[in-house]
Amino acid sequence: MRDLWAVFGRICLDVDFHHQVFSRANNSATFEQLADLETFLRITNNLCLGRWDIMEINRCVTENFGGPTRMPVTAAEDDQEVIPVRFQLAAARPLPFPGNQSFCTAVGLTAVDRRFRDMVLTMATGGAAPSEVVAELSRSTEIHPIIPLTPVEAAALLAVIRTKEPQLAAFHQAKWIVPDQIACTVGYSPDPATPYLHVSQPGAIAYLITNPGRFQDLVQNRVVQGALAPGDLFSQLNQHFLQQ
C-alpha cells in the first residue's frame, strides 16, 4: 500500500505528475486497456503496484463523489478535490521521486486515512517538533507502518497538514470514501482468460443511497457487512457527505 499512498500524495503535490497520470487514465477502460498507465507507474516510476492499485489510481484521478452522484473529472487542472490541496502550498513543486517517496507516502496517507490524518494534525497543532514526527513514524503502530522521514520532510508534512487538513479531508471524502460499515473497492478475475473486473466502492455507496431497497440484497451477498440498520447507515452516509 505504501506505493499507492505515495501516488496519491504526489498527485496532490506535483502538478506534472498529476497531469502525467491523468493523461494515461481512462475511467471506462479495463485494466488490460491501461498499458500506458501501467508502464508509467510500474516501469517509469518503479512503483510496486498491483492491478487493484492501478485501477484505484485510474478511478481516483478520473472521478469524484461529492454525494450519491458520480462526477467525472474532465481534465487534471479541473479536479476540484486535488487543486485546493495544492493551491498556494509551499511544497507544491515537483518533488524528486522516488527519492522523496516516503514524504509522498506520508502525505498520501493523510489523504486516505482519517486516524493518521488526525494524529498528524494533533502533532502539528500541538507544536510537535519535526524530530517527534520522525520518531513517531520510525516505528509501526496500529495507525501507521514505518514511514522513514528526514527532519526536513517531517517539517514539510506538519506544514501541509496544518494548512491543508480540510482540503485533504475533502479529497478523502470524494476520492476514497471508506465508511466503517461498507466494504472497500474490490477486483476479481474469474479465470486467466477473463479481463480483470474492478468494482467501485464509492459507486456502491452512491448506489445504496439512491437504492435503499437493495440494502438487504447486498448484506445477504456480503457486499455490505456490519450491524447498522439501513436507516442508520443512510443517515450516517448522508451526514458524512453533508460535512464536506
Q: Specify burial of residue 50 (Cβ count, 10 A radius: 0-12, 13-18, 19+).
A: middle
Same domain, 83 and 102: yes
More confident call, 201 vs 161 = 161
Same domain, 22 and 126: yes
More confident call, 70 vs 153 = 153
Q: Is the pLDDT of residue 103 over 50?
A: yes
Phi, psi of 32 (to 5 degrees): -65, -20
Listed in sequence order, the residues at least 6 apart from 110 whose beta carbon sits closer than 8 Å to its beta carbon are 9, 116, 117, 120, 157, 160, 161, 168
At residue 188, the pLDDT reads 62
The three three-digit cell numbers of residue 125, written as one number:
497543532
Domain limit, last residue, from 176, 208, 228: 176
Q: What share of the chain is helix, strand, coil (3-state, %, to 5)?
A: 60, 5, 35
| Domain assignment of residue 226, yes or no | yes
Listed in order, strand segments (DSSP E) in 142-191 are 186-188
Q: Number of folded domains in the chain?
A: 2
Q: Is the pLDDT of residue 99 over 80?
A: no
More confident call, 47 vs 188 = 47
Same domain, 30 and 140: yes
The three three-digit cell numbers of residue 54, written as one number:
492501478
Same domain, 61 and 155: yes
Q: How far apart are CA 4 and CA 201, in angstroms?
A: 17
Closest CA to 27 of 174, 179, 200: 200
The three three-digit cell numbers of residue 139, written as one number:
516505528
Same domain, 18 and 62: yes
Contact between residue 17 and residue 112 where contact means Cβ atoms under 8 Å apart: no
At residue 67, the pLDDT reads 66
Domain limit, last residue, from 176, 211, 231: 176
The three three-digit cell numbers of residue 230, written as one number:
439501513
Domain limit, last residue, from 129, 147, 176: 176
Measured distance between the N- and C-terminal CA atoms of the chain, rounded to whole angstroms: 26
| Domain assignment of residue 181, yes or no | no
For residues 206-225, give the mean pLDDT. Answer: 73
Residue-range definition of the domain harbouring residue 160: 2-176
Same domain, 168 and 194: no
pTM for the structure as a whole: 0.79
**Residue 207 confidence class, pLDDT cut points 50, 70, 90:** confident
37-91 pLDDT tens trace: 999 999 999 999 998 899 999 999 999 986 667 889 999 999 999 999 999 886 5
What share of the chain in percent tops pLDDT 70? Answer: 77
